[in-house]
Amino acid sequence: MGRKIRGREISGWVNLDKPHGLGSTPAVAATRRLFEAKKAGHAGTLDPLASGILPVAFGEATKTVQFMQAAQKTYKVSLRWGVATQTDDGEGDITETSDHRPSAQDIVAALPNFIGDIMQTPPAFSAIRKDGVRAYALARAGETVDLAPRAVHIDAINVMDATTPEHCTLQVVCGKGVYIRSLARDLARHLGAFAHVTALRRTRVGPFDEKNAIGLEKLETLRHIVPDLAALDAHVLPLMTVLDDIPALAVSVEQASRIRQGQAISLIDLSEHRAAMADGGAATEFVAVHENMPVAICRRKDAAVHPVRVFNFPPQQVD
């Protein structure tokens, strides 16, 4: 007889402000424990040395994690010039030094080279697998790690502070898969210098930003104040929070039932919702909604709408 999985049937998102020094997996585990959630996941790993926004999904919201992994992200990163390290941050041993310090004007002039679609080589100390082994494990064992460059997209880079020769703070807006440590390394090389990251904070992931984020310490405090978890549940955001950019398609109770059973709905059946379909333009993905509750993420193909990810909400769904 299998072990019974314990925990509450709760669905939604928590906009967690991950503290410096804690990995993403332990941060999610701590959040899940505080909320007594049966199921949890996260969108977009943050290194232990980085702090900031780590969206945590509970229950049915874990089915929408992919949308947040692909969401636009914003980082605040501080660089120290003149020193390169093994890990491209303050954790690694120093590998090279230089007396050259780029001016603020030189930094600004170099940034356009790193905006848009670029090729980026991940750091040797990263979680990318090489021959089935994590790159950081190979690097820690003293092996040379050669990772292939890959295409990434950076939307914008702005200089926030460059008033001292030794340090520089940048704001980076980017897409999925960008390594900020690699950006710092490559920017320094472009400027004929060395640099490494001294501080990194993620300030936004899609709709989640610092304004309504909550830290683990605050959650711990709330957990002890209200035994029935009501104070914590007030910080659970609806699943639909991450689906705002996907056109919504209202369906009847009968259509919702068919979709939940994995059946496609013909566009003829949805004729009364042509306006909603038109609002979607050339979009192929929609979120089917019945009485303001998401039913499924659907994909339009030929003359029908097919369910791709079906949501199954229990009666005690937090919304």
pLDDT at 146: 63
Whether the pLDDT of residue 240 is over 50: the answer is yes
Tell me whether strands 129-130 and 133-134 are parallel, antiparallel or unpaired.
antiparallel
Q: Is the pLDDT of residue 318 over 90?
A: no
Q: What is the CA radius of gyration of the chain?
A: 23
**pLDDT for 44:** 81
**How far is the CA of 4 from the CAs of 1, 7, 28, 38, 57, in angstroms?**
9, 10, 21, 11, 21
**pLDDT on residue 67:** 87
- Other C-beta atoms lying within 10 Å of the C-beta of residue 157: 22
What mean pLDDT comes out for the span 19-39? 94
Lowest mean pLDDT among 27-31, 33-37, 84-88, 273-277: 273-277
Q: Provide the pLDDT for residue 301.
A: 85
In the CATH scheme, what is the homologous superfamily, with its name and number, of domain 246-310? PUA domain (2.30.130.10)
The domain 12-71+207-238 belongs to what CATH superfamily? Pseudouridine synthase (3.30.2350.10)
pLDDT of residue 3: 47
Residues with Cβ within 8 Å of 101's Cβ and at least 6 positions away in sequence, in order, are: 81, 82, 165, 166, 193
Query: Each residue of 62-88: pLDDT tens digit?
Result: 999 988 888 999 999 999 999 999 888
**Cα distances (angstroms) measured from residue 310 to each of 70, 287, 294, 295:** 20, 10, 9, 6
pLDDT of the residue at 15: 97
Q: What value does the mean pLDDT take over residues 95-110?
A: 95
What per-residue confidence (pLDDT) applies to 280? 46
- Residue 314 pLDDT > 80: no
Question: pLDDT tens for residues 34-52?
Answer: 999 999 999 888 888 899 9
pLDDT of 305 strictly over 80: yes
Same fold, 73-205 and 246-310: no
- The half-sphere exposure of 158 on its side-chain side, counting CA atoms within 13 A, is 8
- Identify the CATH homologous superfamily for domain 73-205: Pseudouridine synthase (3.30.2350.10)
Nearest CA to 45 out of 35, 34, 53 is that of: 53
Please say if the pLDDT value at position 135 is more than 80: no
DSSP states of 29-91 as a string? HHHHHHHTBS-EEESS---TTEEEEEEEEEGGGGGGHHHHHTS-EEEEEEEEETEEETTSBTT
What are the tens digits of pLDDT across the range 192-223?
999 999 999 999 999 999 999 999 999 999 98
Tell whether the model's pLDDT for residue 141 goes beyond 70: no
Backbone angles phi, psi at 58, to 5 degrees: -115, 145
User: What does the alpha-carbon distance between residue 240 and residue 36 come to, in Å, rounded to a whole number?
Assistant: 22
Domain residue extents for the chain: 12-71+207-238, 73-205, 246-310
**For the residues of 161-174, what is the DSSP string, one character each?**
E--STTEEEEEEEE
Copy the structure tokens of residue 48: 């232990």
Catalytic machinery residues: 47
The confidence band for 144, taking pLDDT boundaries of 50, 70 and 90, is low
Tell how strand 248-250 and strand 12-18 pair up: unpaired
Angle in degrees, 0-180, between the axes of helices 216-225 and 24-35, rounded to the nearest 10: 10
| pLDDT of 142 | 57
**pLDDT (mean) for 251-275:** 78
Residue 131, by phi and psi: left (phi above 0), alpha (psi -120 to 50) or beta?
Answer: left
Confidence band for 269, pLDDT divided at 50, 70 and 90: low
